[in-house]
A and B are shown apart, each in its own frame.
Chain A
Amino acid sequence: MSASHIPQPDTPALRLEGIVKTFPGVRALDDVGFDVRAGEVHALLGENGAGKSTLMKVLAGMYEPDEGSIYIEGEAVTMRSPLEAKARGVVLIHQELSLAEEMSVAENIYLGELPRKSLGRVDWKTLHSNAQAILDRLKCGFDSKRQVGTLSIANQQMVEIARALTVEAKVVVFDEPTASLTDAEKVVLFDIINDLKARGAGIVYISHRMDEIFTLADRISVLRDGGYRGTLIKSETNEDEVIQLMIGRALDLTRRRAAAKTGKVALQVEGLSCGKLFEDVSFELREGEVLGFYGLVGAGRTEIAETLFGLRKPSAGRILIDGTEVEISSPADAIKKGISLVPESRKEQGLVLGMNCRDNITLPQVGDLTKGPFVSDGAEIAIFDRYYEALKIKTPSWRQAVGNLSGGNQQKIVIGKWLAMNPRILIVDEPTRGIDVGSKSEIHDLIRTLAGEGYAVIVISSEMPEVMHVSDRIVAMFHGRIMRSFTTEEVTEDNLVAAISGIETDKVA
């Protein structure tokens, strides 16, 4: 946090003044202005839909603001394309990777600006030595000749970062960079960010994770409903104050619940296996109960959910619903048997993004909402209205394409879609991935309410606080096996981590 590297303390690396951006029916950014100093990490926070993404796209030259000015090192600039933005020293590290998987790391880093020899031939030597230099600076353990598609997601993200560093970056924007990283990879990323900072770049860091923000940031700016709500200095504030600024009210995430009243066994799984994906999985789920599945990515949790939803065929074991053995042959079959699955990835599996909100919610049951041979408009709107109100979905109308909603509201649409099926057994895979704090606690409350109403709920989550907060019992998985199951009284962070790392076992699930 030393200020000695800041070259010109008076001119900020980036200054925004009165930025306004409107879309039909929405004022996405309303008079947003703040500055990012050279050599600081400036966290940008806000709930989904607060305008962070729009602001980022303005910075990257993908949107032109309707009003307002952008200054880079004191100079007013207009940026009409990402290339122009990059030429001005503004680079963006996307949340979603955009790499050519078939090409080498070096080619990806210098894509579009490969070094040339005479006759336009690519200068492979220079290319690889330049690329390797950047990789070394980032302490990447892979070769510049490696094919990108063969790298892990985390390493691909490193390539994305390396690509941004081919220019002398004045402003680097990170958008949720840790969403798919392991803890060890995060440490490396934070080192890189601190290195960039020491070289005098201004860093804009967008994230929902408070712990990261309080580790990294020097200052924190908050957006809410498209408006700028203030900038806090990290050393003079705390999480509560930031959250309050973000959601406009105080939030209590720490409260403990009374133990739930559970009913009879709704779902019983005995010795279920699916090839090597998961083996010998047994558990039971009661009405009114929330059963948490916790484990590392790849531990087999999602695959169990997909098997219960008829997307995979089990290789061994039995599934019993209300004590009767069943075979679940397809999602349609699972739905008929009262199982709903809110899938892991809302964009790929949960929603048809080009379709409107109402049609997405009613999609699984559209065949039953008929008057004669036709879909009944009234029945559909009634269902939409019910979940629009119950879940507090923010959308101008049901006609809005789901792709235009913020992540939190998209997630609510997926949840609404499956609640509308009135399932007995609700499986929720990563219920709050990529969702802001406010929506997160709303969704947690909702899951608890559903259990209170007698739903049998399975929650799969990679976030320990979430799984501990929302579950009545927690099953810890490691390498496709259930290592141990905990009640809320037994569970601690330590024994949970031990169980998912394969250290501690207890076969009584």
Chain B
Amino acid sequence: MADIRHEIPADRAGRSGPDSGGKHKGGGMAHSGLKSFAGLMARQGILVAFVLFLIAFSVFSDRFLSAENIFSVVRSSAIIGVMALGVTVVVIGGNLDLSVGSMLSFSTVLVVDLHDKIGPGPAIVVTVLATLCLGAINGLLVGVARLNSLIVTLGMLSAIQGLTLIYSGGKNVDIVHQDTTWFKIFGRGYIADIPVPIVIFAICAIVLHVVMAYTPFGRRIYATGGNPTAAVFSGIRRSRVVFATYLISALTVAIAAIVLGSRVMGSQNNVGQGYELQVLAGVILGGTSLLGGSGTIWKSVIGVLILGFIQNGLLLLGFEYYVQWLVTWVVIILAVWLDIAAKRGRLLSPIA
């Protein structure tokens, strides 16, 4: 049910494979085989790629598919994953959010710093509220003032980084009594042998999936992203919808910050730097169109996991840490390209 909106337009999905030009008569088996392969790739290309990666890495490393390693990858993907869920909502609504990285720095510094000053419970409440305020600024500027979301959130990325440094005075923060505080459960705890970050990631994913796929509110987000004018003509209050998507995004950042702060029990001022690109990479790998109006929550989950497993697999194969940045880029380009190619049935656009 959830992916009904992701259906490929019939006039493109059925295009035959890249090399089918020229001979029109007697396409036969090979032809229809290519067709159905293209169709499969168009619908589930990202899953196919995911499985291929898992197989490839597990052939070269026996540790790769061990339960221990899988848990460790999912757990370390959880922070980016939770943020990617919120950003997916913004992107489906037709906008971008590049401010999530520095917003994560701000919220993590805030929750860690306040932990020792006012106690874990109040620290969490204040952090969530403060982060929502930042999201509200994005939401007002993009939703109500109708400014370009790329510019607004790029500016916020820089402004929030400044805000963080002003708050902390440039010093890193940490929690003194790391073993005795209940705050450690979010990053270090287990529920029924499952690491809590994974549980939180799963709960957020399920909640947002249900919101997007089954509620009127979710439907309005898809409509607003798909065609803002038609949404307005349908009586949808577009500015409210966009505003709400930025609040959701900020909320996921606050949750990620709590997990991160609890896991590290301290924070640098720039801890979230570069996260916005990783988050966006996961969303794009999941196949959510940056034009808005399409995509699903669970595909972003897969996208983030693919990134996590690729980075982990490269480490296990003995590559240097920084190689993963290059490979990640290649994977994203391939994913986007395959997706488009499957939709139009050729590798290159016919309209040159």
Contact = CB atoms under 8 A, between A and B. Distances in A.
A256 B352 CA distance: 52
A263 interface: no
A352 B216 contact: no
Contacts of A349: 229-230, 233
A82 B294 contact: no
Interface in A346-380: 348-356, 359, 363-364, 366-367, 369-370, 373-375, 377
B86 to A, nearest CB: 20
A66 B27 contact: yes
B11 to A, nearest CB: 5
B7 A399 contact: yes
B141 interface: no
Contacts, number: 128
Contact of A404 (B10, B219, B230): B10
Closest 3 CB pairs of A and B: A352-B226, A332-B235, A367-B216
Interface in A130-165: none
Interface in B1-36: 1, 4-5, 7, 9-11, 13-14, 20-22, 24-25, 27
Nearest to B8: A401
Interface of B: 1, 4-5, 7, 9-11, 13-14, 20-22, 24-25, 27, 39, 210, 214-216, 219-220, 222-223, 226-227, 229-237, 293-294, 350-352
Nearest to B292: A354
A67 B24 contact: yes
A400 B13 CA distance: 12
A354 B231 CA distance: 13
B216 A366 contact: yes
A216 to B, nearest CB: 29
A64 B20 contact: yes
A68 B24 contact: yes
Contacts of A67: 24-25, 27
A331 B230 contact: no
B226 A354 contact: yes
Contact of B234 (A331, A369, A401): A331
21 contacts: A25-B10, A26-B10, A54-B11, A64-B22, A67-B24, A331-B232, A332-B237, A348-B227, A348-B230, A349-B229, A349-B233, A351-B227, A352-B227, A352-B230, A366-B220, A370-B216, A374-B210, A399-B7, A400-B10, A401-B10, A417-B234
A96 to B, nearest CB: 14
Contact of A352 (B11, B39, B231, B351): B231
Contact of B219 (A22, A54, A61, A363): A363
Interface string A315-338: 000000000000000111011000
Contacts of B24: 64-69, 78
Contacts of B232: 311, 331
Nearest to B345: A64
B350 A355 contact: no
A18 to B, nearest CB: 9
A430 B5 CA distance: 29
A373 B27 contact: no
Contact of B10 (A23, A62, A367, A369): A23
A411 to B, nearest CB: 14
